């Protein structure tokens, strides 16, 4: 039998979790998920869900059941560090990054990508094509299509312990206190919202840092690709600095989040350290929030990516 909610979470903690998501206006909520989804995907059981409702968790009553916004459940679960598959995967990513840096050896992963049909607007069978970066940045000759829409590739992530200099560190500090947050569609590219709330996805601070880097004369570019570690690998955005001809990735919001969640030691992984051991560059300057990794007849194909 699980412990009572009151024995696990202080009321103030639950209130803070709800107050945080209330920074998002109700207009951006779809209320499409039920209590079963909250428990299955985000480890928010019935007792905890009721306690959150008591603190003002937004919901709607539809068809005799309560409905919730997907991103609210995601962000509350992460804030409370519940053992969801997502939080467990983040823990693995932080651990892998730290291990690679500590032992001084690069990490090598086999990625498995499974694409789905991009839509039935095209005629005939699907024609899946990976972005050139998968082959360009993978281990030579490792990209293979094992079946229609299924690809494997070997990725190598370096062991990088670089801490950025004063100028770049001061730039990165502009967003170092922002909280990593899964934003709903209505504010997914809204820099004003993130500035006001200090809640941000990986894209918004990347764009801000790039614009400010240009203003300061710091050579930087937009890196996009994958945040890699077993078992799940996800799309990610970050900023990269040109250091003597090498592009070195930085992600102060991610490192601050890892430290806040107790996944890394802040003294070892400050916001101004490189994240080269966690990200795999595939694209530069992508225009889309959810950029393509595999196309189907030229359209972005829905994709699942695993790593081992």
Per-residue pLDDT tens digits for 217-228: 999 999 999 999
pTM of the predicted model, to two decimals?
A: 0.93
Which pLDDT score, from 0 to 100, does residue 154 have? 98
Residue 51 backbone phi and psi in degrees, to 5: -65, -40
β-pair partners for 221: 240
Element (H, E) at 234: strand 234-243
Q: Are 209 and 239 in contact (CB under 8 A)?
A: yes
Which pLDDT score, from 0 to 100, does residue 1 have? 42
Top-confidence residue, 98 or 21:
21
What are the structure tokens assigned to 39, written together? Answer: 């428990």
Element (H, E) at 307: strand 303-307
Distance CA 73, CA 263 (A): 21
Which of 101-105, 111-115, 121-125, 179-183 has the weakest average pLDDT?
A: 121-125
Which pLDDT score, from 0 to 100, does residue 7 have? 77
- For the residues 66-80, what does the mean pLDDT come to? 98
Q: Which three-class secondary structure string do you get for 120-184?
A: CCCCCCCCEEECHHHHHHCCCCCCEEEECCEEEEEEEECCCCCECCHHHHHHHCCCCCCEECCCC
Which pLDDT score, from 0 to 100, does residue 122 have? 78
Q: Are 276 and 248 in contact (CB under 8 A)?
A: yes
Distance CA 113, CA 45 (A): 32
Q: Are 238 and 226 in contact (CB under 8 A)?
A: no
DSSP state of 267: T
β-pair partners for 274: 250
Residue 232 — very low, low, confident or very high, per pLDDT cuts 50/70/90?
Answer: confident
What digits encode the pLDDT tens for the residues 139-158? 999 999 999 999 999 999 98
What's the chain's average pLDDT? 94
Residue 118 — very low, low, confident or very high, per pLDDT cuts 50/70/90?
Answer: confident
Top-confidence residue, 277 or 164:
164
Q: Assign residue 261 a region: left if phi > 0, alpha if psi is -120 to 50, beta otherwise?
A: alpha
- For the residues 65-75, what does the mean pLDDT come to? 97
Element (H, E) at 37: helix 35-42
- For the residues 38-62, what does the mean pLDDT come to? 97
What digits encode the pLDDT tens for the residues 153-202? 999 998 888 999 999 999 999 999 999 999 999 999 999 999 999 999 99
């Amino acid at each position: 039998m699980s412990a009572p909610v009151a024995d696990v979470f202080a009321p103030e903690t639950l209130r803070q979790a709800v107050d945080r998501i209330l920074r998002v206006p109700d207009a951006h909520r779809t209320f499409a998920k039920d209590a079963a989804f909250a428990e299955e995907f985000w480890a928010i059981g019935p007792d905890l869900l009721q306690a959150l409702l008591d603190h003002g968790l937004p919901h709607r009553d539809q068809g005799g059941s309560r409905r919730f916004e997907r991103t609210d459940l995601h962000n509350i679960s992460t804030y409370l560090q519940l053992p969801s598959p997502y939080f467990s995967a983040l823990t693995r990513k932080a651990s892998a990054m730290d291990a690679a840096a500590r032992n001084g050896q690069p990490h090598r992963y086999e990625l498995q990508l499974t694409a789905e049909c991009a839509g039935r607007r095209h005629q005939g069978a699907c024609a899946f094509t990976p972005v050139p970066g998968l082959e360009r940045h993978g281990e030579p000759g490792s990209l293979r299509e094992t079946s229609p829409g299924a690809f494997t590739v070997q990725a190598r992530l370096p062991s990088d312990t670089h801490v950025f200099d004063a100028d770049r560190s001061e730039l990165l500090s502009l967003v170092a206190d922002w909280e990593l947050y899964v934003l709903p569609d209505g504010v997914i590219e809204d820099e004003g919202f993130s500035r006001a709330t200090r809640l941000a996805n990986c894209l918004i601070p990347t764009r801000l840092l790039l614009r400010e880097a240009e203003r300061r004369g710091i050579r930087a570019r937009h890196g996009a690709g994958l945040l890699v570690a077993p078992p799940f690998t996800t799309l990610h955005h970050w900023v990269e600095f040109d250091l003597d001809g090498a592009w070195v990735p930085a992600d102060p919001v991610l490192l601050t989040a890892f430290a806040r969640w107790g996944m890394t030691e802040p003294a070892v992984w400050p916001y101004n350290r490189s994240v080269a051991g966690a990200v795999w560059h595939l694209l530069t300057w992508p225009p889309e929030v959810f950029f393509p990794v595999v196309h189907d007849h030229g359209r972005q194909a829905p994709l699942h990516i695993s790593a081992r």
